[in-house]
Structure 1
Amino acid sequence: MKYIKKNHEPKKFSDWKALENDDWKPNWDDNFQKPEKSIVHDSLLQEQGYICCYCGMRIARATSHIEHLKPRTTYPNLALDYTNLIASCQGESEEPPPVPVHCGHQKKYWYDKQLMVSPLEVNCTDFFKYPASGEIKPTDDPTKQAAAETTIEKLALNINKLQNMRKVAIDAALLGIEDLTDAEIQQLAEGYNQLDSNGQYTPFCAAIIYILKNYF
C-alpha cells in the first residue's frame, strides 16, 4: 500500500454539485454519470499514479472502479465527497468481479476506523513488510499488527495472484542490483517513490521500496 496525497477535486465535479437546488440534488446512484463520473475517475487515477489504492497493481479506467474508503451505505453523506474517493483495481463494469476477488470489491461495505489501514494515511506503509517471495505481512510493530492483519484479510491482499505479481515486480527490480553500491541502491529506492515521465508509479512500488531499503 502506498500513501495517496489527495488533490483538490476537479472543478467540473464541484460545479456539478453546486447546481443543487430544491428540485434537483446530486446523487451517486441516480445522476452521477458521464461526463462528471469519468472526470472524477481520471482525476483519481492521475493522483494515484495509475496504481490501485490498495494492492498497487497497474490500473486504468477500464480496469478499475471508484472506491469509497468509507462505504456510502454507512456514510451516505460522504458518497460524493472527493476526499473519500479512491480508485481500486477490478473494473466497475465487471459484475460480478472476476475471481479471485480482492481490494475494493472484496472490501465491499467493510470499514473499521481502528482496524482499516487507509492509503490516505501518511504512514500507511509502516503497517506492512514484504519478503522477496511476494507476500505482504504485518509489521513487527505490535501497535500496528492488528490493523495490518485485518486489512490484509478484509482486502484479500495476500492471495496467490497478488503474491505472484509482487514477486515478478520485485525480481525485475533486483536485476543487476548486485553491481550497485549501497548509496546507489538507496537512491534507486527513492526513485521508485517518484512518478515517471508518464505520470505513473511502478506497479507494486511499495513492495520494491521495502525490499531495497531493508534487505540491501
Structure 2
Amino acid sequence: MLKVNKKKSEPEEFTKYKSKHKIINWDSFTPEIKQVLKQYLLEEQENNCCPYCEIEIHLEDSHIEHIKPKDKFPKLLADYNNFIACCLEKKICGDSKASKWSELFINPVIEDPEDYFEYDIKTGKIIPIFKEGNRHEKAKYTIDLLNLND
C-alpha cells in the first residue's frame, strides 16, 4: 500500500465545474470531468500505481475511489481529498472495500501505510509491523478489507 501525497489543490476544471453545477450525487459529474479528475489523481500517485495494491494503472483501467464511501459520507461526495485513482481488479482493493467503512481503515491520503505494514519475504504476504495494539488492528483490518493477500 502506498502513501498518496495530495497536491495543494484540486484541478481547476473540477473546482469550476462544482461552482457552476448543482451536485446531487456522483452522476452529477459528467464523464469528461471525471476523466480530468482521474488524470490529475493518477499524476499525483506514485508511478501511476493503485495506492492499495501498487499495480500500475492508467485512465482506462482505473476508477475514482471514494476513500470514505459516498453513501455513508455524502458531504465528502465531491471532496478532492477523499479521492484516489484505484485499480479495477475484482475481489481486491476498491472492489472488495465497496462501501464498507471503519475508522480502523488506513487512509493513504492521511496516514503512511509504511508505518503499519511490511512484506514477509518468505511468503510474499503483507503483514502488520506491530504484533498487537491499535496499529496492529488497523493494519489487519485494512489488509483484510482490501484482500491485499489474496
Structure 1 and Structure 2 fold alike (TM over 0.5): yes
3-state secondary structure, aligned to 2:85: strand
Task: Tell me if structure 1 keeps the 8 A contact 2:68–2:76.
Answer: yes
- Residues of 1 paired with 2:143 and 2:137: CA distance? 10
Tell me the residue number matched to 1:139.
129
1:109-168, CA deviations, whole angstroms, 9 ceiling, x for partnerless residues?
A: 11111x101111343211111022321011125331111111111110000xxxxxxxxx
Task: Tell me if structure 1 keeps the 8 A contact 2:26–2:77.
Answer: no
When the two chains are superposed, the root-mean-square deviation of aligned CA atoms in Å is: 1.5
Q: Of residues 19, 41, 60 in structure 2, which corresponds to 1:44?
A: 41
Task: Tell me if structure 2 keeps the 8 A contact 1:65–1:87.
Answer: yes
What is the identity, as a one-letter code, of the residue corresponding to 2:149?
N
Q: What's the CA shift for 1:27?
A: 3.6
1:161-205, CA deviations, whole angstroms, 9 ceiling, x for partnerless residues?
A: xxxxxxxxxxxxxxxxxxxxxxxxxxxxxxxxxxxxxxxxxxxxx
- Residues of 1 paired with 2:144 and 2:79: CA distance? 27
- The two structures have a TM-score, normalised by structure 2, of 0.90
Tell me the residue number matched to 1:118.
107
Tell me the residue number matched to 1:195.
none
- Counting only pairs closer than 5 Å after superposition, residues 17-96 of structure 1 correspond to structure 2 as 17-20=18-21, 25-49=22-46, 50-90=48-88
**Runs of 4 or more off by more than 2 Å in structure 1?**
26-31, 121-124, 140-143
Tell me the residue number matched to 2:16.
15
What is the identity, as a one-letter code, of the residue corresponding to 2:27?
D
3-state secondary structure, aligned to 2:60: coil
What is the identity, as a one-letter code, of the residue corresponding to 2:117?
F
Task: Tell me if structure 1 keeps the 8 A contact 2:65–2:85.
Answer: yes
3-state secondary structure, aligned to 1:3: coil
In structure 1, stretches of 5+ residues that fail to align are 91-96, 160-216
Further displaced range: 145-154 or 27-36: 27-36
Tell me the residue number matched to 1:6.
6
Further displaced range: 115-124 or 68-77: 115-124
What is the identity, as a one-letter code, of the residue corresponding to 1:77?
K
What is the identity, as a one-letter code, of the residue corresponding to 1:31?
S
Identify, as 1 or 2, the structure richer in strand. Answer: 2
- The two structures have a TM-score, normalised by structure 1, of 0.64
What is the identity, as a one-letter code, of the residue corresponding to 2:93?
C
- Residues of 2 paired with 1:86 and 1:30: CA distance? 17
3-state secondary structure, aligned to 1:18: helix
- Residues of 2 paired with 1:117 and 1:141: CA distance? 17
Between the two proteins, what is the percent identity of the paired residues?
A: 34
- Residues of 2 paired with 1:30 and 1:146: CA distance? 35
In the alignment of these two chains, the number of paired residues is 146
Tell me the residue number matched to 2:147.
156
In structure 2, stretches of 5+ residues that fail to align are none
- Residues of 2 paired with 1:130 and 1:2: CA distance? 13
